[in-house]
Amino acid sequence: SPFFIPSALINLASGQVSIKYGFKGPNHAVVTACATGAHAIGDSSRLIKYGDADVMIAGGSEAVIGRIGIAGFCAAKAMSTNFNDTPEKASRPYDKDRDGFVMGEGAAILVLEEYEHAKARGAKIYAEVSGYGLTGDAYHITAPAEGAEGGYRAMKMALKNSGIDPTEIDYVNAHGTSTPKGDEGEAGAVERAFGDHAKDISMSSTKSAVGHLLGAAGAIESAFCALAIRDQVMPPTLNLDNPSFETVIDLIPHNAKKGRVRATMSNSFGFGGTNASLVLREVK
């Protein structure tokens, strides 16, 4: 078919949107596994900062639930298989019985806009993307680096670029896929990145509620962060009955938590050792 090649190109997703709506600014398609949505948002924020665009439509989508997708991730021993009879309990980040992630499917899209441009048209502003960090592990095709070292550097970069004091971060939306190795490593990296302030941070994995949306994960989790700022409510980590490790961080088990949310961090780490962290903060 003459449509085979166009249908196989990832950038045709953004291309179709551009064609349909007449968007003639930067047309940029990101493919970085589970960090895709976060990288798309971070890259778009930089394009606006550099003056290349006033408005960017950024996010991620994924639809991989099928025989090949499920079989492939099961063969990689990444998915949960111990809760087939109680699937609602399968995604359980940080819990001692976690055994892999639950596949999700969906999309999330954010409108990023230069501040004065947004004010001029009376836009409802949820938050500001103030910090962005991206790193590579240079370690393994699927496993995270020891101690989530790459994720740690992404967090530190995002904090530095945000221009805010780390003590202003009240909530972290973790990558937290419910895998045995990744969850504990990320929690330790967050403790290292925030030092003494870690004890005052609340952190959860919303993958416990929506599953792992792969390329869309970073986008929907950034949306959760924006809504946490708007509503002053931090989403919970579901199914966290028995934490498998000790941490000073509040992992928000079971129930959402009301509290002051001035700024948030969202982490996304992908196969191939690609990492992204975003800092979103309230607009005063």
Catalytic annotation, residues:
34, 175, 212
- E strands, 18-81, where? 55-62
Residues 237 and 253 sit within 8 Å (Cβ to Cβ)? yes
Handedness of CA 142, 146, 149, 152 (dihedral sign): positive
Residue 94: both structure tokens together: 């940080």
Please state the separation of Cα 192 from the chain's center in Å: 19
| Contacts of 129 by beta carbon, 8 Å cutoff, 6+ apart | 41, 42, 45, 112, 278, 279, 280
Side-chain-side CA neighbours of 10 within 13 Å: the count stands at 12
Helix 217-231 crosses helix 36-49 at what angle (to 10 degrees)?
Answer: 70
Q: What are phi and psi of 223, to 5 degrees?
A: -65, -40
- What is residue 235's DSSP assignment? P
Please tell me the distance from the alpha carbon of residue 54 to that of residue 162, in angstroms, as a whole number. 20
